[in-house]
Amino acid sequence: MERVIREFISYLHNTKRTSTNTEVSYQRDLKKLVSYLHSKGIQEITEVSELDLQGYIHELERENFASSTISRSVASIRALFQYLQKEGVIRNDPSDVLKPPKVEKKAPGILSVEDVDKLLKQPDTVTPKGIRDTAMLELLYATGMRVSELLRLTVDDLNLEFGYVNCHDNGKERVIPIGNVSRKALMHYMESARPYFVKNENEKALFTNCSGKAMSRQGFWKVLKGYADEAGIQGDITPHTLRHSFAVHMLQNGADVKSVQEMMGHSDISTTQIYLGMNMNKMRDVYMKAHPRH
């Protein structure tokens, strides 16, 4: 079964051009399924029945997994068996009977404009690290890109002359404009800080750690959490918080949903529309343009 999972993930990557995060998620879900099936004495994927899959979902429910987790597992399982049927490995799809639990869409956590300002003022822009961190945070908030996309950027993706960044994720690309604040922060970083960290001229990663290697998600999370604590921002803050905040601030300041959808890389506009009904704690500042840091 492990070989089948590997072939399926390879199919997603090479044919469907899915994101790295999607592939990791599918792989994790399906490995857990395989472990359950092995525990029931089932060794071949062709032996799996409707009752086996229903039993697995009931097992997840008994273990009190969140509805969102179970729903994602159902999606992963169905995708696998649809692939196997398409490839002719199985004749009938046993996952047809699976129904995901209803998942209420929670409003994502966002920061007020005041809290974003406080956060972005925390790095010490006299030091190379502070200059780098300012550039990262400003770019993330200026574009609303995913953290995985931010950390995948290379120096070639940046066009400071015309003020845009080429964002990509497994073959899917989009061009996002950047404002003057972010542009200046990036120029300062490229001139003053990146050469301090990067000694290898072949290193293409735009943002690196102190060793000159591409920064990891964990490394970025520590940077963000540290500045959030220094700024006195209450509540949980994750690397996705600035992405959510970008969307809400843009929409509340007059940007149209379609444009925000394109900038964020949402394939379905309904995903973007989640942000429409969200109200922050009465913004005190009035901005002339859609993005607060114009």
Tens digit of pLDDT for each residue in 29-80?
999 999 999 999 999 999 999 999 999 999 998 898 888 889 999 999 999 9
Question: Which residue, chain included where needed, has tokens 């993930």?
Answer: 9
User: Is 94 in a helix, a strand, or coil?
Assistant: helix
Residue 268 or 189, more confident:
189
Please list the helix, strand and coil fractions of the chain in percent, rounded to the nearest 5, in that order.
Answer: 55, 5, 35
How would residue 243 be classed by pLDDT, with cut points 50, 70 and 90? confident
Q: How is 31-58 classified by DSSP, letter by letter?
A: HHHHHHHHHTT---GGG--HHHHHHHHH
The two tokens of residue 62 are: 């008994």
* Of residues 65, 73, 80, 70, the one with CA closest to residue 101: 70
CA dihedral for 75, 78, 84, 86, sign (positive or negative): negative
Domains and CATH numbers, the chain: 2-97 (1.10.150.130), 113-273 (1.10.443.10)
How would residue 283 be classed by pLDDT, with cut points 50, 70 and 90? very low
pTM greater than the 0.75 cutoff: no
Q: Any residues with CB less than 8 A from the CB of 71 and at least 6 apart, and which?
A: 100, 101, 103
Q: What are phi and psi of 184, to 5 degrees?
A: -65, -40
Angle value at C-alpha 247, between 241 and 253, nearest 5 degrees: 130
Residue 294: per-residue pLDDT:
55
- Cβ atoms 119, 233 nearer than 8 A: yes
User: Is 127 in a helix, a strand, or coil?
Assistant: coil
Please state the rounded mean pLDDT for residues 250-268: 71
Q: Any residues with CB less than 8 A from the CB of 236 and at least 6 apart, and which?
A: 109
Largest CA distance in the chain: 65
Tens digit of pLDDT for each residue in 118-173?
999 999 999 999 999 999 999 998 888 888 899 999 999 999 998 999 988 767 78
Residue 287: per-residue pLDDT:
37
Tens digit of pLDDT for each residue in 178-235?
889 999 999 999 999 999 999 898 999 999 999 999 999 999 999 999 999 999 987 7
Q: How far apart are CA 31 and CA 35, in angstroms?
A: 6
Q: Is the pLDDT of residue 271 over 80?
A: no
Amino acid identity for residue 65 in this structure: F
How would residue 269 be classed by pLDDT, with cut points 50, 70 and 90? low
* Segment (H or E) for 172: strand 172-177
* Of residues 110, 112, 129, 130, the one with CA closest to residue 121: 130
How would residue 285 be classed by pLDDT, with cut points 50, 70 and 90? very low
Q: How far apart are CA 121 and CA 36, in angstroms?
A: 49
- Cβ atoms 80, 125 nearer than 8 A: no
